[in-house]
Structure 1
Amino acid sequence: MFVGLDQHPRTALADPDPRTRPFHDLLARVPDPPGRPARIADLGCGTGNVTSLLAGRWPDAHITGFDNSGESLNEAEKLAGETSEGGRLEFRHADIGRWVPADPFDLIISSAAIQWVPDHLSLFGTWTRTLTGGGIFAFQVPDNAAALSHAVLRELCASSRWHDRLAPGVLPSPEVCDVQEYLDRLAGLGFTVDAWESTYAHVLPADDPFGGWVGGTGMRPVLNALADEPGAADEFLADYRARLRGVYPAAPYGTVFPFRRIFAVARRNAPA
């Protein structure tokens, strides 16, 4: 995933396409969970706007969003409560890297979150330990590390203007596995797996193509490192947008920005 272009869920939903399209594409491949009403967990729920889309699909479900950001959870609480067909939407504080489910779930889903969890592949067994027979574990992760956007960001951080402030280690490094690694691990845990890759060719508006994509949650450590210098964060982001425009040239219809993602939908096999 490209940390500089990782969007906050609230920002993403202001323009449903292209930034929430991966979640909708994931959800379209998720079958109905076995329980009724279903018990659903959203790992890394952020402000809960994406979590609330689950209530639109399963309005009688009991849905719990988990996140470790108090600020995001405060926003999410505005969405909490009963849903249209007697279900419930709630939010809890949890570091998903240490999360061990205490209750059974029929569906565990995560959108653009688990890439921030070190060695998350090894946690699949823990996360799905209480998943019911026929239950589903589904996720999508951005995988844009090889993109020009990453290279531009690294070069900018290492430039003479910023290298003293943005030493190695300030820029977070998401962890994404190969799609077959995800498939192999889940199959080994007793799941039937549908895994795939997609590269989206997002067409961004010509006037300010990257204005809505920089400054997201993945960029926070960088912006925090510049917070004590007035105007530095804005200067950094303006420079970054300018460099992006240099490597992603505009066409008459807009600026094409390729963005690759990995998806997996895994259904737990019922006992023989």
Structure 2
Amino acid sequence: MAEWNPSLYSRFEDERTRPARELLARVPLAEVRHAVDLGCGPANSTELIVQRFPGAETIGTDNSKPMLDSARKRLPGVRFDLSDISTWQPETAPDLIYANASLQWVPGHETLIPRLFDSLAPGGVLAIQMPDNRDEPTHRAMRDVGAMQPWAEHIGDIEKLRTAILPLSAYYDMLAPQAENVDVWHTIYQHRMDSPQAIVDWVSGTGLKPFVAPLDDALKASYLAEYLRRIEAGYPPRADGKLLLAFPRMFIVAQKKKA
């Protein structure tokens, strides 16, 4: 997949940071010694952790060098490591593992989530937020266009482009027997967007990447033109001329037992 683009990702930083802030607000910890931001991106979420727990040793991790370069410029006093979440192991048991909009890119949640939870210090918290928008018009259109020729032969099996996340109840059942408490919820954000192109720009920084990465410039342009046409049909203007981008997100905050 093509490298992540921090500038494109950060174009909608306020909207992307809102769920990160709301996730952190539900973390039931007064003090944190060691915190890890898994999949930190350009450090907009890491910055929230540093602000809330200024005395903590906070580490951000990501598998994108451009994202880490951007993160280091934003927070030069914080350590940022290049790593893959699927194989990541902490040096010291963290009090907080915070994964905002990152685990949906990592397969094998049935083993990944318990492994992350087990790596916490006693009383530590695993805080997860994941987009749950695969059935929204944005993502249905990605798959529909990706299954059409001439793009399909280059994109391949569209069902393999994204990790299938589990129902929220499955994550609860996975964590509850070993947890002091598990807090789970859904939120559907309604983002005011200026135009269909603005919606395309939003998803171009994230969900659309695996679909366009295998395409040459001409095929990418034609794919995006057809995709934009479908976004225009799927998101009609509201009374003020703006569009509403519905964005469901899943939240999980699980605290490990202290003993």
Short-chain TM bin: 0.7 to 0.9
Q: Which residue in the other structure is 1:31 paired with?
A: 28
Q: Deviations over 1:99-146 (max 9, x none)?
A: 122312111100111111111232223223342222111010011122
Provide the rounded CA distance (Å) in 1 between the counterparts of 2:145 and 2:11: 28
Measured after TM superposition, the shift of residue 62 of structure 1 is 1.1
1:233 correspondence with 2:220: yes
Provide the rounded CA distance (Å) in 1 between the counterparts of 2:197 and 2:67: 27
Counterpart secondary structure, 2:201: coil
Cα distance, 1:118–1:168 mapped onto 2, change above 3 Å: same
Counterpart secondary structure, 1:128: helix
CA RMSD of aligned residues (A): 2.3
Which runs of 5 or more structure 1 residues have no equivalent in the other structure?
1-6, 83-88
Among 190, 194, 203, which residue is 1:205 paired with?
Answer: 194
Identity of aligned residues (%): 33
The code of the aligned residue for 1:29 comes to R
Counterpart secondary structure, 1:146: coil
Cα distance, 1:164–1:222 mapped onto 2, change above 3 Å: same
User: TM-score scaled to structure 1, two decimals?
Assistant: 0.84
Provide the rounded CA distance (Å) in 1 between the counterparts of 2:67 and 2:13: 19
1:129 correspondence with 2:129: no
Provide the rounded CA distance (Å) in 2 between the counterparts of 1:111 and 1:141: 7
Number of residues of Structure 1 aligned to a counterpart in Structure 2: 255
Provide the rounded CA distance (Å) in 1 between the counterparts of 2:160 and 2:222: 17
Measured after TM superposition, the shift of residue 268 of structure 1 is 1.4
Q: Which residue in the other structure is 1:81 paired with?
A: 76
Provide the rounded CA distance (Å) in 2 between the counterparts of 1:99 and 1:186: 19
Counterpart secondary structure, 2:203: coil
Q: Deviations over 1:154-192 (max 9, x none)?
A: 121122342232222486122211111111111122231
Measured after TM superposition, the shift of residue 80 of structure 1 is 4.2
The code of the aligned residue for 2:250 comes to I
Q: More helix per residue: 1 or 2?
A: 2
Q: Deviations over 1:222-247 (max 9, x none)?
A: 322113xx343233223212211101
Which runs of 5 or more structure 2 residues have no equivalent in the other structure?
none
Cα distance, 1:238–1:70 mapped onto 2, change above 3 Å: same
Among 56, 61, 72, which residue is 1:61 paired with?
Answer: 56
Q: Which residue in the other structure is 2:182 paired with?
A: 193
User: TM-score scaled to structure 2, two decimals?
Assistant: 0.88
